[in-house]
Homo-oligomer: A and B are copies of this chain.
């Protein structure tokens, strides 16, 4: 681990007002890092370890209505080798992600993408998650006003076991146009996570998997690459809902919470946290993918258009790959693309135009890998 130099530590807590006024009393407010504050190889331990509980899981259910049986039922979970129902994989993702915001993306203009996400040890109520990130890439934009920061983030439980790792890259404002990054580098972004890298099938005993309880008779063998599934339903987002969700994840990005400021901002209104849309899409995907019982990897993801309260989210999925897992005949994995659209049903699978760009109604392009029982 590369320790933060003292000067860098100080800068993290330097306030805008301080720079304006020189008032020493103003130094205690975190204004976040700007592009030129990051260094290649820098390691950041994020604040606010968080114990997830039954309460968080109940809220997650109320926010998304998710019905994957593994996360809903201790009895179901026990039958396939878990000590109890684990916390939803995306609640783990949002919790770890949220911790990184005050250090990584408080001054972000855009969250550009995710890659290389691998879920590790399952998380159970009572587990305390903490997060740290390493800066793996830096590239100033030609306008000199912003730059792209690439970070690899790791979430761990209190026993030090990794529960999640992923790479994301964000466009971050510069404090000072004249400043330069000490060293620049664009990292090789990981491609789709290979079957051999998936960690969370370990310990699962699929023999006890109850498809009636899970809500679908369709298993791994029934899905074919190229197959597309419209998840049919739509869910309208309310301001109170996305704010409750985003605060639950302790994500402090201002654009989600402050109508007084956003009224003067880019869109004139609050923006919905992109992860909220991922969770809605995953919940809708139960209708067609009910046995995709665990997310094993996030291969890539992009929020391609903004979402606001009042928007209705629909989703569809395409099976990209059917992956065999090393040494397992009982459980396999599907690599899926789930696409979410706003205010537009997905029966005709909206995606990209002839120009290769996402349609304006498309808001999420999410490439992930989920476990599914095999007929064996």
Contact = CB atoms under 8 A, between A and B. Distances in A.
A261 interface: yes
A13 B63 contact: no
B73 A270 contact: no
Interface in A201-258: 212-218, 222-224, 226-236, 238-241, 243-248, 250-252, 254, 257-258
A34 to B, nearest CB: 15
Contact of A25 (B28, B45, B228): B228
A305 interface: no
A364 interface: no
Interface residues of A, number: 94
Given A63-B244, A65-B252, A74 B55 contact: no
A47 interface: yes
B48 A69 contact: yes
Contact of A240 (B51, B240, B251, B347): B240
B258 A288 contact: no
A185 interface: no
B257 A215 contact: no
10 contacts: A26-B229, A30-B287, A45-B212, A48-B72, A49-B213, A50-B73, A51-B72, A61-B248, A259-B310, A261-B312
